[in-house]
Amino acid sequence: MKKYISLAAVLGIVWCFIHGTFLGIVWCFIHGTFLGIVWCFIHGTFSFNSFIFGLLIGLVCIRPFRFLYKPESNFNLFSPPSRIISIIRYFVVLIKEIIKANIVVAKIVLKPKIDINPGIIAVPIRCKTDLGITAIANTITLTPGTITVDISDNKSLLYVHCIDASDPDAVAASIRNGLEKYVLEAFE
Amino acid sequence: MINTVLNVLSDIVLLIGLFFVFLGMLGLLRLPDAYNRLHATSKIATLGAFGVMLSIVLRTGFTPLGVKAIAVGLFLLLTAPIAAHMITRAAHRHGVGLCKESVVDEYGKACKLSKK
Amino acid sequence: MISLLDFSLIIMVLAFIPCIYRIIKGPTIADRVISLDALTTVIIVMLGAYSYDHNSAFFMDVALVLAVISFVGTVTVAKYLDEGVVL
């Protein structure tokens, strides 16, 4: 089994060097490592051999779709530790908000008479990068009574369908002050 | 001792998850229009399914069954917002109207403005 | 005395009924897509409960594939409704 592992490592490195630039090689290995971990989850066993097998299959799989994996120019591999702490805090807040959202919608469903006043409102956001906008949109969908519908053309407004839109300013203020603060700290 | 506690805990989490999935389907039946139904299915049903997967993990630990259950739960939790977002936008552009209790529709106004 | 598996399967079959009603009766096509997505979630939960009771990993593979196919199908139908073409 040792022989196969070393063979796989050599093959993977040779495969990656076809990419050319050093940044392309690093990005290829990062995505390959991610796909290897996913392979471990799907296979059901966490062992070194299955990880190497998944890494090899991942490198083969992302080769035809190379144009989707554009390497960012300002990418730094070692992010500062304060950012990791804020990412952990963001996930804690996210779990709390998901549970709160379920209780809110469950109460609405269980009421004998449904009296809601839904509507689509516009929420201004401060995030600029694509990763930040994706994170805030998915967070809004998982939080109480709101679903993201679309983003405006100049990427400064999110259209949000809200299950209780009788006071649009309060909803927008709660999104801006509550969730977007953590997203800005974690992803920008 | 700790095995018994984990078994009882996993049974409780399983029952909570089943109850939440049932509530989501009830919301699908009762709420008035497509957007509000999406609120019910994309939040409650997803958390219910995640709860069932969590109960499997609590029962079996890191066996192949538990690890696959983690994968299914995380995948559901990751893809539910994306699917909800795409269906909402497609429905609004396809012309599905909001229900008559609705208050405001900023997105429809913005679409009309950009068409002119 | 019914077992936990029987109880969970009974609840999930009760949860089938609103989905089937929405698929047949739903006023717009978006309602049908939403209820098909919800139906897949119910089937995933049923498979999870079955493998929970039998302690076998085979049904979990089926649930994983079903989750992936449900997501891809939903996105495809949404894109078709939005733009009129799939690819």
ipTM of model: 0.85
User: Residue A150 — pLDDT band, cuts 50, 70, 90?
Assistant: confident
CB pairs under 8 A between A and B: 126
- Phi-psi label, residue C55: left if phi above 0, alpha if psi -120 to 50, beta otherwise: left
Are the beta carbons of B106 and A120 separated by less than 8 Å? yes
Contact B31/A109 with Cβ under 8 angstroms?
yes
**Out of A46, A106, A152, closest to residue B23 by CB:** A106
- Rounded to the nearest angstrom, the minimum Cα separation between A14 and chain B is 31
**Out of B11, B38, B56, closest to residue C34 by CB:** B38
Instruction: Please give the Cα distance from A149 to B89 (Å, whole number).
Output: 5
What percent of chain B lies above the pLDDT cut of 90? Answer: 0
Please determine, for residue A16, whether its predicted confidence score (pLDDT) is greater than 70: no
Please determine, for residue A75, whether its predicted confidence score (pLDDT) is greater than 60: no
Are the beta carbons of A122 and B32 separated by less than 8 Å? no
**One-letter amino acid of B7:** N
Are the beta carbons of A99 and B63 separated by less than 8 Å? no
**Out of C19, C37, C57, closest to residue B83 by CB:** C37
Interval A90-134: pLDDT, tens:
888 888 888 888 888 888 888 888 777 888 888 888 877 777 888
- Rounded to the nearest angstrom, the minimum Cα separation between B97 and chain C is 10
How large is the average pLDDT for residues C77-85?
A: 85
Are the beta carbons of B45 and C38 separated by less than 8 Å? yes
Contact B30/C24 with Cβ under 8 angstroms?
no
CA A90 to chain centre: 12
pLDDT at C72: 92
**Out of A41, A147, A165, closest to residue B39 by CB:** A147
Contact A147/A140 with Cβ under 8 angstroms?
yes
Least confident of A6-10, A30-34, A45-49: A6-10
How large is the average pLDDT for residues B31-37?
A: 84
What's the whole-number average pLDDT of chain A? 78
Are the beta carbons of B110 and A102 separated by less than 8 Å? no
Instruction: Please give the Cα distance from B91 to B97 (Å, whole number).
Output: 8
User: Residue A27 — pLDDT band, cuts 50, 70, 90?
Assistant: confident
What percent of chain B lies above the pLDDT cut of 70? Answer: 97
Interval C24-57: pLDDT, tens:
987 888 888 888 988 999 999 888 888 888 888 8
User: Residue A20 — pLDDT band, cuts 50, 70, 90?
Assistant: low
Q: List the one residue out of A176, A106, A95 whose CA is nearest residue A143.
A: A95
How large is the average pLDDT for residues A137-156?
A: 83
Q: SS3 sequence, chain B?
A: CHHHHHHHHHHHHHHHHHHHHHHHHHHHHHCCCHHHHHHHHHHHHHHHHHHHHHHHHHHHCCCHHHHHHHHHHHHHHHHHHHHHHHHHHHHHHHCCCCCCCCCCEHHHHHHHHHHC
pLDDT at A21: 63
**Out of B65, B72, B87, closest to residue C34 by CB:** B87
- Phi-psi label, residue A122: left if phi above 0, alpha if psi -120 to 50, beta otherwise: beta
Interface of B with A in 35-94 (CB under 8 A): 35-36, 38-40, 42-44, 47, 62-65, 67-68, 70-71, 80-82, 84-85, 88-89, 92
Contact A148/A113 with Cβ under 8 angstroms?
no
Residue with tokens 């994996």: A69
Are the beta carbons of A102 and B47 separated by less than 8 Å? yes
Q: Which domain holds residue B67?
A: 2-115
Please determine, for residue A12, whether its predicted confidence score (pLDDT) is greater than 70: no
Q: List the one residue out of C45, C44, C22, C25 whose CA is nearest residue C35.
A: C22
Most confidently modeled of A59-63, A130-134, B5-9? B5-9
What's the whole-number average pLDDT of chain C? 87
Please report, for chain C, the start and end positions of each structural domain, with discontinuous segments joined by +.
4-83
Q: Which residues of B touch C11 (CB under 8 A)?
A: 18-19, 21-22
Burial label for C18, CB within 10 Å (0-12, 13-18, 19+), is buried
- Rounded to the nearest angstrom, the minimum Cα separation between B97 and chain A is 11
What is the domain count for chain B? 1
Residue with tokens 């139904």: B37
**Out of A41, A119, A166, closest to residue B105 by CB:** A119
Are the beta carbons of A118 and B38 separated by less than 8 Å? no
pLDDT at A80: 67
Are the beta carbons of B103 and A150 separated by less than 8 Å? no
Are the beta carbons of B46 and C81 separated by less than 8 Å? no
What the block records as the tokens of C52 is: 């929970």
The residues near C72 (Cβ < 8 Å, ≥ 6 apart) are none
* Distances B46 to A109, A138, A145, B33 between C-alpha atoms, Å: 16, 14, 15, 20
Contact A127/A181 with Cβ under 8 angstroms?
no
Q: Which residues of B touch A101 (CB under 8 A)?
A: 43
- Rounded to the nearest angstrom, the minimum Cα separation between B102 and chain A is 5
Contact B15/A141 with Cβ under 8 angstroms?
no
pLDDT at C69: 92
Interval B78-116: pLDDT, tens:
888 888 888 888 888 887 777 777 777 777 777 777 776
Please calculate the CA angle B44-C10-B42 and round it to the nearest 5 degrees.
Answer: 15
pLDDT at A113: 81
